[in-house]
Amino acid sequence: MRATPAASLIALLVALAGPAAAVWGDASVLANTALPAEPDPDSGAELIGTPAPAWTFDRFLRTKPLSLRALRGKVVLVRWWTEGCHFCRATLPVIERLRERDAAKGLVVLGVFHPKPPRPVKDRHILDLATELGFGGPIAVDGSWKTLDRYWLARNPERNWTSVSFLIDRNGVIRWVHGGGEYHPSDDPQHARCDAQYRELERVLAEVLAEAPGTASVR
């Protein structure tokens, strides 16, 4: 079969450049070679197994001031939320149900209000919002996003979400991260990802609730 002009040109380039050109001269190799996937900055996977940073909240509502050190021995689910966030509206009732279900097993759920943009907000307004969204647990106020930065945003400037969640085990180690948006059980195919992420939370939560203090390892 007679070679086409394009094939002849590729063969000439390969001959001139040596073995290294063979890869670049083979269009099928180029088409079938997948580039490495870019890591998702909002996955937070690199934080799992690391100690949770201390937090510095402006104040607490519905509870006395809480520190991560004082909660050692408890399992802590921390969720940042804000006003006008439909992802928060979908998720806060879910974490409220987890709080009610597993409090006796040692679960503490802390809803962290962070106003967008950062600004002073009255306590009454925050409490009314939380009630409207179906969350009855303790609330921390992160008005200037100081702790949100420490936990999330300052660690990777490419992150886009702020409604993030962290599950912290009895030893203060991060065991599950949700990089923003919503998670909840659902049979709707359009919310398959939300359902999968919620199922993963339930799996890890059951695991850490079953652990005794001092049994989890820090990487």
113-149 per-position pLDDT tens digit:
999 999 999 999 999 999 999 999 999 999 999 999 9
The answer to pTM > 0.75 is yes
- Tell me which of 13-17, 109-113, 142-146 is least confident: 13-17
> For residues 5 and 134, which has the higher predicted lDDT (pLDDT)?
134
pLDDT score, position 128: 98
Are both 149 and 84 inside the same structural domain?
yes
The residues facing 78 across adjacent strands are 110, 166
Are both 29 and 107 inside the same structural domain?
no
In a domain, 216, yes or no: no
Going by the DSSP 8-state scheme, the letter that residue 172 receives in this structure is: S
pLDDT score, position 219: 58
Report pLDDT digits (tens) over 29-54. 334 444 445 567 778 999 999 999 99
The whole domain housing 56 covers 45-209
Q: Is 210 exposed, middle or buried (0-12, 13-18, 19+ CB in 10 A)?
A: exposed
- SS3 call for 206: helix
In a domain, 217, yes or no: no
Are both 131 and 161 inside the same structural domain?
yes
55: nearest Cα among 74, 69, 38: 69
Are both 22 and 85 inside the same structural domain?
no
pLDDT score, position 212: 87
16-41 burial, b at 16+ Cβ within 10 Å, e below that, comes to eeeeeeeeebeeeeeeeeeeeeeeee
- For β-strands 139-141 and 165-168, DSSP reports them as unpaired
Is the pLDDT reported for residue 90 higher than 60?
Answer: yes
Residue 141: enclosing H or E segment and its boundaries?
A: strand 139-141
Domain count, the chain: 2
Find the radius of gyration of the CA atoms of the chain: 24
